[in-house]
Amino acid sequence: MILVGLALLMTGVFSYWIVSQAPASSQAELSELQPSNPVGVLPTATPSIDQADAAPETATATATPSPSPTMPPSPTAIPDPTFDGQVAYQHVLAQVALGPRPTGSEAGWATGELIIAELEKAGWQAEAQEFIFNGVRGRNIIGRREESRGPIIILGAHYDTRPAADQDPTESLRDEWIEGANDGASGVAVLLELARILEPDKLQHEVWLAFFDAEDRGRLDGWPFSVGARHMAENLTANPESVIVVDMIGDVGQQLYYERNSDQALSQEIWAVAAELGYQDYFIAEPRHTIIDDHIPFIERGIPAVDIIDFDYPYWHTVEDTADKVSPESLERVGRTLEIWLEEKQ
């Protein structure tokens, strides 16, 4: 994924570079997605990365009061969430243990196998959707449940990792492949834990869990971003009601703002559920960045889509994007929010 909004704020030259480096076929789309007067709509307050990192980790204690004898559950109470951040974190560790996982690599293929195995273990049917791009073999994976009914909601995350630490402060490390504990593994971990705890027969919607390959090679070797997500969007066999992408959501200093390319009504709906759960210090109901990510190919086809992303991550596209930067509590806040949003959604 790549940032558009903050780059425009930082330097006009850099924003020109982003647009000028886009493949010719996508330049028009890219400029359409950018606000015509980006500076005018950017937030007045721009917290620094240090501030983002220093976000307090105190809201979880108040998020989900467990029923006690003195506090009988009311009939209108939010159903008890069961998404477990510790279990999700194990999915981060399992992916990172495979090493860096770029599209076309052995570890990338093994990650796909791991996802398929976890989906099947949780009772989901896993469908592989292979494609070739620039001579490289990629593979999306879609999890479905037979008993699902209702309009389709796709929850998506990319599972490939970037084959270059091109944002690393140390120049000699910039050709290294990154571990992608947050940028890659965290979104997948949330989806896999949702696979375990969702009860599809109790939902009003049919949920697809989509694992995208080839998101994160953009601007390298002439590749665009979101190759896998675009392949899926162009080959849909049904018309989903909405698409929710989770990317870089697991960092310790979690700050999830509205992303500006996302459907705003849907974003507000999800952030409102997060607030009900006591997560308002982490799901901050204000717009911030403008991001090119896996939601864009769906938006371009008229499907309402949201990117849940914390772009204020100091280790983005560096060799330091490692599992110690990811916290179970952060994974849990995103997982429980999506769990309750799906359970409550009519």
Evaluate whether 304 touches 296 at the Cβ level (below 8 Å): no
For residues 256 and 89, what is the distance between their CA atoms, to the nearest angstrom?
19
Beta-carbon contacts of residue 340 (< 8 Å; ≥ 6 apart): 78, 79, 81, 273, 276, 277
Shortest distance in whole angstroms from residue 275 CB to Zn ion: 28
Question: Smallest Cα–Cα separation from 1: which of 165, 177, 184?
Answer: 184
Task: CB nearer to Zn ion: give 316 or 341.
Answer: 316
The letter for the amino acid at 290 is: T
Is residue 247 a contact partner of residue 308, using CB atoms and an 8 Å limit? yes
187/200 with CB nearer Zn ion: 187
Instruction: State the Cα–Cα distance between residues 163 and 106, nearest whole angstrom.
Output: 13
* Residue placing its CB nearer to Zn ion in the complex, 216 or 310: 216
Q: Residue numbers of the site for Zn ion (CB under 5 A)? A: 183, 216
At closest approach, how far in Å is the CB of 317 from Zn ion?
A: 6
Closest to Zn ion by CB, 293 or 339 = 293
For 298, the enclosing helix (H) or strand (E) is helix 296-299
| CA-based nearest residue to 124, from 186, 189, 206, 184 | 206
CB nearer Zn ion, residue 215 or residue 339 = 215
Give me the least distance between CB of 58 and Zn ion, in Å please. Answer: 29
CB atoms inside a 10 Å sphere around CB 122: 18
Residue 90 structure tokens? 């194990």
Measured from the CB atom, is 183 or 263 closer to Zn ion?
183
Residue 63 backbone phi and psi in degrees, to 5: -70, -45
Residue number, 59 or 227, with CB nearest to Zn ion: 227
DSSP conformation class of 216: T
What is the DSSP code (8-state) at residue 324? Answer: G
CB of 346 to Zn ion, least distance (A): 34
Q: Is 129 helix (H, G, I), strand (E, B) or coil?
A: strand
Least distance in angstroms from the C-beta of 248 to Zn ion: 7
Please, which residue, 206 or 312, has the CB nearer to Zn ion?
A: 312
Residue 334 CB, nearest distance to Zn ion (Å)? 17
CB of 64 to Zn ion, least distance (A): 31
Six-digit token string for 197: 């705890």
- Among residues 274, 125, 250, the alpha carbon closest in space to that of 181 is found at 250
Instruction: Please tell me what DSSP assigns to residue 323.
Output: G
Strand-pair category, 305-309 with 242-247: parallel
Residue 223 Cβ vs Zn ion, minimum distance, rounded to whole Å: 12
